[in-house]
Amino acid sequence: MFKHILVPVDLRLPDPVSKALDVAMEMARIEGARMTLVNVSGGTTGETFNDAAAEEVMTSLARKIEDRIAGKTGGVKVDGITVHSNDVAAEVDSILARTVKETGADLVIAGSHAPRLLDYITTSHAGYLVRHSKASVFVVR
């Protein structure tokens, strides 16, 4: 049913292996789908990760996930990419939507939080993808 799953990963969080990533790994295993992990990096000089460090972490994370899925059944191809942004906060939504299109992903599995007051005025990153992506979007809380 799905051939390519894209999973946004925020490396600034303490543990990038979130519930959404667990769901994506299981879906990839069941569907035999390829996975792409995407991180949007850049911005101010005080960021935890520069682009090179983020790319290295994403590649390492992709290998770990590939090995974890392979341990359960067969091989699933997992890629980790980092997309640079000059202003992550302002550009993350449009960059993720563009990356979905550019990679040809047909399913996005995105983690989200329970709605807060501000989410009724603006939208979460996952909500933006739901409204602006032609791919199916599975939002995990």
Q: For residue 114, what pLDDT is reported? A: 65
pLDDT in single tens digits along all 141 residues of the chain:
999 999 998 887 655 557 888 899 899 989 999 999 998 887 554 555 567 788 888 888 888 887 777 665 456 888 888 898 888 888 989 999 999 999 999 999 998 866 666 656 666 777 788 888 899 999 898
**Domain map (residue ranges) of the chain:** 4-140
Backbone angles phi, psi at 82, to 5 degrees: -120, 130
126 closest CA partner among 140, 117, 49: 140
CA–CA distance, 22 with 41 (Å, rounded to integer):
22
For the structural domain made of 4-140, what CATH number should be given? 3.40.50.620
